[in-house]
Structure 1
Amino acid sequence: MGLFLLLLFILGVNTGEANQSSDQLVYVVPVEQTVERGLEAFLERSVNEAEEAGADHIIFEIDTPGGAVDAAGNIASIIQDAPMKTTAYVTEEAMSAGAFIALSADEIAMAPGTEMGAAQVIDGSGNAAGDKAQSRWEANMKGAAELNNRNPEYAVAMADPSIDLPEYRAEKGELLSLTASEAREVNYAEYVVDDREELLAALNMSEADVQEFEVSLAEQIARFVTNPVLIPILLSVGSIGLILELYSPGFGIPGILGIASLFLFFFGHAIAGFAGLESIILFAVGFVLLLVEIFIPGFGIFGITGIGAIIGSMVLASFSTLNIVISILIAAILSVVAIIVLFTMFGKKGPMQRFVLHDSVGGEEGFISNESRDELIGETGVSLTSLRPSGSIQLNDERLDVISEGGYIEKGKHVKVVDAEGSRIIVREMNE
């Protein structure tokens, strides 16, 4: 009997352990493509939903060539502040900002043949950033490594090519990139695993409920349109499209492209959490003011106010004031060039052309603005008044108002009609 109870106790313990294991919840979140603010918004939502669902662990599957430093810093903070345990799993590559994100997780796992590193700061022109920005970035890399007791020398070497680590670099002066085996060797990776199942086994979570977090269609659009490279393109297409639409009558493809580009800009930034309702309302007000200026001229007041409102709305909707100012300047320059080309090639046309009547009607269409008296040319009459040079004459049985061709003509003189232009009849004194 005692042996039977002992067996039940052991089975109960094992069953309890199995139930405990099966009750575990793991969220798998992809960190893919370029690191930018759209990715930041997606990861923030992922961590928040994982917390609400009571997840025990989050695995960030990383495959990125890097990206924006500011977005990487915010993403690192999101991962570091996550209330549950986190693991960065490098499935392809974690380069540049991706390496910083991986170092921010509690643990790192890498698949065979993957790489992590090469994290030097690059400016917009593709050159190495200034000393101040570089120093700050190296400090961030060092801090991320020290956060989980990793040797910071390797993290700094990923950002600074002057550090000499010949055993892990092909040539002197290159940024450090660690393969999976090298990262395991220097304690920059706790696991080298072939796939997710093997990683879950290494984490003792083989029986856990795995929830894959996917990027929604709206977030995919947001990630696309919040890319710093695409923003000036969207603004340029938007402004040039509207200019072309105002330039030509009707509403066609240029107007549709212009409105669609601006819509994508605000939609993407709204989904990413950067553009609020106030920025959209401000843009709408600015657009209405521009229309008022076009159709009801107000000495430029409505136009200037409208342009200011539109620019202000874009600044409010943007994640970076510097980036949006540069994008607006690029769009403005391209718009000016477009205006110059339009006026040079097609002449002075514009929205006011829509209110100008271009059709005309004449005698061929049966329209006569003033009756012409061509039949009087050559006829003779007598002046009823002195012509100084205008006056009246009697021609047949009709009294006519005329103008003398020359100077003064006395009353009672014989005159001849020499021309008739509408109601203007010209006469000349006849020699008697």
Structure 2
Amino acid sequence: MTQRLRLARLSLVFVFLGMLITGILGPVIARAQEPDFPHALVITVDGIINNVKEGFIARAIDKAEENGAALLIIQLDTPGGLLSSTREIVELLLESPVPIAVFVSPRGARAGSAGTFITAAGNFAVMAPGSNIGAASPISAAGEDLDDTLASKVESDAAALIRSIAQTRGRNQDKLEETVWTAASYSAQEALSDNVVDLIADDLEDLLAKLDGLIAETSIGTVVLETKGLELFQLEKNILEHFLEFISDPNVSFILLTVGGLGIVVELFNPGLIAPGVVGVICLLLTFLALGNLPVNWAGVVFVILAMVLTVLEVVVAGFGILGVGAIVSLVVGGLILFTQFGDVSPTMPSIEVSKWVISSTGGVVSLALVYIVGTAYQSRRQGPPEKTSALAGMQGMVTGELAPRGIVLVGNETWTAISEDDSAISIGEPVEVRSVEGLILTVFRQSDPEK
């Protein structure tokens, strides 16, 4: 035992030393890797636009300004995202002290919904051949059109934003507004012809060559670009940003919510186990962190947690399938509506949902577990624990869940399902005595009853 304790302590010492060295040397190494020569900073933004992408773009702008980058290039490929994050990113681009080129690439990429706003907000809007831009009209999270009143309200707000961007950057206001009002989309060549974008470029080198000598208006004044032959420096997401992107996946969020809810409920019904509670709290905290990047429907969260409560109740009070069926139904409903939006719907957010495979797989696992538990409980009810039957008869206990006439009692440091002998209600805290045992069900009576 002493040897194991020493090894554990030594391991902790090495872990803390490693963390200390990393904390000290990490920034030094990172700074040593930063370019000290004229360069263009390049970042890749793909997938759903959310708070993580917003933070990444903000960090890139700060890094470009700090290192004296001549240009920031945002390689964009997105179906859309959160309107709040889109607005923040647009503000960052319009107020940037560094010239920014938003490059919809590679070939086949798209700047859908939120991507249209972001592309239009750059100093230079550039597209690769074969890419497309547009379709910023609001739809529901299920992919359906909104009702006329709601659509008009949301569309007007989105149209005002993209109109303001077009006026600021000198782009075709009417064509950009059509992406909102009529969900118009444009190919790279169509967007160039209609002055929706400024350039078409085959790759980054071609982009630098075509930007050379152009003028960009930034927050600190007018800048004439000298980009021909400029060195490119790629800025990657850090570990935290990668982790936040991972847990912000709808499927991962659903699994974390399910595991977290189950862990908390198990701990509440079995105080002192500790491990389920710790795992549950961590998973729920990660879930809420992830849901901040997604258009969550809180009714779905309630359904998922209710499913976990019913699952544990099925195990604890032996509902013989009824509670289990309720748990499965609640889990499936919760998964289906977790990201379904009602009311105001973001015009920049594409349809988001938990995979039907993930919902069915999770529901299947819970169903199999409940079938096994219910089957075991039923078999035990029929056979009963013969070694305890004689021992329990005559033992005294206390009511922990009101008998009306069925409830829960504590006998011999064990929790049992019980019914009162005369079908009378017995309140929590009252002393009782076991009359008989049938399977896993005790028949009890009030200990103070003078007739017994």
TM range (shorter): 0.5 to 0.7
Partner of 1:103: 120
1: CA distance, partners of 2:314 / 2:134: 52
- 1:208 is aligned, of 210, 225, 230, to 230
- 2:66 is aligned, of 52, 55, 62, to 52
1:91-170 alignment to 2 at 5 Å?
A: 91=105, 92-129=109-146, 130=150, 131-161=152-182
Amino acid at match of 2:115: G
1:70-109 alignment to 2 at 5 Å?
A: 70-91=84-105, 92-109=109-126
1:264/1:335 CA distance change after superposition, 3 Å: closer
1: CA distance, partners of 2:118 / 2:167: 14
Q: Is the 8 A contact 1:89 1:109 kept in 2?
A: yes
1:231/1:139 CA distance change after superposition, 3 Å: farther
Partner of 2:331: none
Q: Is the 8 A contact 2:258 2:308 kept in 1?
A: no
- 1:220 is aligned, of 228, 236, 242, to 242
- 1:333 is aligned, of 279, 289, 303, to 303
Partner of 1:242: 264
Deviation at 1:336, TM superposition (A): 2.6
Relative contact order, higher structure (CA 8 A, sep 6+)? 2
Deviation at 1:206, TM superposition (A): 2.9
Amino acid at match of 1:220: H
Q: Is the 8 A contact 1:112 1:192 kept in 2?
A: yes
1:167-186 alignment to 2 at 5 Å?
A: 175-186=183-194
2: CA distance, partners of 1:126 / 1:93: 18
Please say if 1:196 is aligned against 2:204.
yes
1: CA distance, partners of 2:113 / 2:282: 33
1:248/1:105 CA distance change after superposition, 3 Å: same
1: CA distance, partners of 2:132 / 2:390: 84
Deviation at 1:105, TM superposition (A): 0.4
Spell out, residue by residue over 1:184-204, the C-alpha distance to the aligned partner (whole angstroms, 9 max, x if none): 111222221111111111122
Q: Secondary structure at the match of 2:178?
A: helix
TM-score by length of 2: 0.53
Percent of pairs with identical residues: 27
Spell out, residue by residue over 1:338-368, the C-alpha distance to the aligned partner (whole angstroms, 9 max, x if none): 323432454179xxxxxxxx9x99999xxxx
Q: Is the 8 A contact 2:138 2:154 kept in 1?
A: yes
Aligned residues: 270
Q: Is the 8 A contact 2:205 2:229 kept in 1?
A: no
1:362/1:187 CA distance change after superposition, 3 Å: closer
Q: What's the Cα RMSD here?
A: 3.3
Amino acid at match of 1:150: R
1:82/1:361 CA distance change after superposition, 3 Å: same
Q: Is the 8 A contact 1:244 1:255 kept in 2?
A: yes
Deviation at 1:264, TM superposition (A): 2.5
Spell out, residue by residue over 1:67-95, the C-alpha distance to the aligned partner (whole angstroms, 9 max, x if none): 11111111111111111111110101111
2: CA distance, partners of 1:263 / 1:106: 39
Q: Secondary structure at the match of 1:116?
A: strand
Partner of 1:24: 38
Amino acid at match of 2:200: V
2: CA distance, partners of 1:78 / 1:113: 28
Deviation at 1:208, TM superposition (A): 1.9
Q: Is the 8 A contact 2:52 2:293 kept in 1?
A: no
Q: Secondary structure at the match of 2:69?
A: coil
Q: Secondary structure at the match of 1:339?
A: helix
Q: Is the 8 A contact 1:109 1:190 kept in 2?
A: yes
Q: Secondary structure at the match of 2:233?
A: strand
Spell out, residue by residue over 1:103-153, the C-alpha distance to the aligned partner (whole angstroms, 9 max, x if none): 000111111101011111233343345221111001112222222211211
Q: Is the 8 A contact 1:150 1:187 kept in 2?
A: yes
Of residues 224-233 and 206-215 in structure 1, the stretch that sits farther from structure 2 once superposed is: 224-233
1: CA distance, partners of 2:125 / 2:389: 86
Deviation at 1:154, TM superposition (A): 0.8
Amino acid at match of 2:191: A
1:141/1:153 CA distance change after superposition, 3 Å: same
Q: Secondary structure at the match of 2:56?
A: helix
1: CA distance, partners of 2:57 / 2:178: 27
2: CA distance, partners of 1:156 / 1:211: 35
User: Which has the larger Rg?
Assistant: 1
Amino acid at match of 1:334: V
Partner of 1:388: none
Q: Is the 8 A contact 2:78 2:112 kept in 1?
A: yes
Q: Secondary structure at the match of 2:192?
A: helix
2: CA distance, partners of 1:95 / 1:112: 16
Q: Is the 8 A contact 2:61 2:98 kept in 1?
A: no
- 1:261 is aligned, of 266, 277, 283, to 283
2: CA distance, partners of 1:261 / 1:362: 41
Amino acid at match of 2:229: E
Amino acid at match of 1:209: E
Of residues 185-194 and 119-128 in structure 1, the stretch that sits farther from structure 2 once superposed is: 119-128
Q: Is the 8 A contact 1:36 1:68 kept in 2?
A: yes
1:361/1:215 CA distance change after superposition, 3 Å: same
